[in-house]
Amino acid sequence: MFDSIFRRRADEQQMKESGRMPPGQSLTQRFPVLHYGPVPPFNPATWDLKAWGEIETPLQLSWPEFNQLPKTRLKMDLHCVTKWSKFDTEWEGVALRTLLEQGLIRLKPTARYLLQHAEYGFTVNLPLEVALQDNFLLATHFDGQPLTPDHGYPLRGVIGAIPERADLTTPYLWKGAKWLRRLELLEHDRPGFWEQAGYHNDADVWEEERFARSSWGFG
Alpha-carbon distance of 115 to 51, in angstroms, equals: 10
Which pLDDT value is given to residue 11? 83
| CB-side neighbour CA atoms (13 Å) of 182 | 16
Nearest to 93 by CA among 76, 81, 114: 76
Give the domain CATH number at 211: 3.90.420.10
- Within a domain: 146: yes
Q: Could you tell me if 191 and 199 are in contact, meaning their C-beta atoms sit under 8 angstroms apart?
A: no
Nearest to 160 by CA among 99, 70, 88: 88
- Within a domain: 28: no
- Within a domain: 78: yes
Nearest-5° Cα angle at 157, 188 to 35: 100
- Within a domain: 24: no
- Give the range of the structural domain holding residue 166, as residue numbers without chain letter: 44-216
Which pLDDT value is given to residue 213? 61
**pTM (predicted TM-score):** 0.92
- Within a domain: 175: yes
DSSP H or E stretch at residue 66: helix 63-67
- Within a domain: 51: yes
Please count the structural domains in the chain: 1
Q: Strand pairing partners for 77?
A: 161
Which pLDDT value is given to residue 118? 97
Which pLDDT value is given to residue 216? 39
Q: Could you tell me if 188 and 111 are in contact, meaning their C-beta atoms sit under 8 angstroms apart?
A: no
- Within a domain: 26: no
Q: At residue 40, what are phi and psi to the nearest 5 degrees? A: -75, 155
Nearest-5° Cα angle at 185, 183 to 187: 160
Stretches where the chain sits below pLDDT 50 are 214-219
- Within a domain: 34: no
Count other Cβ atoms within 10 Å, centred on residue 13.
12
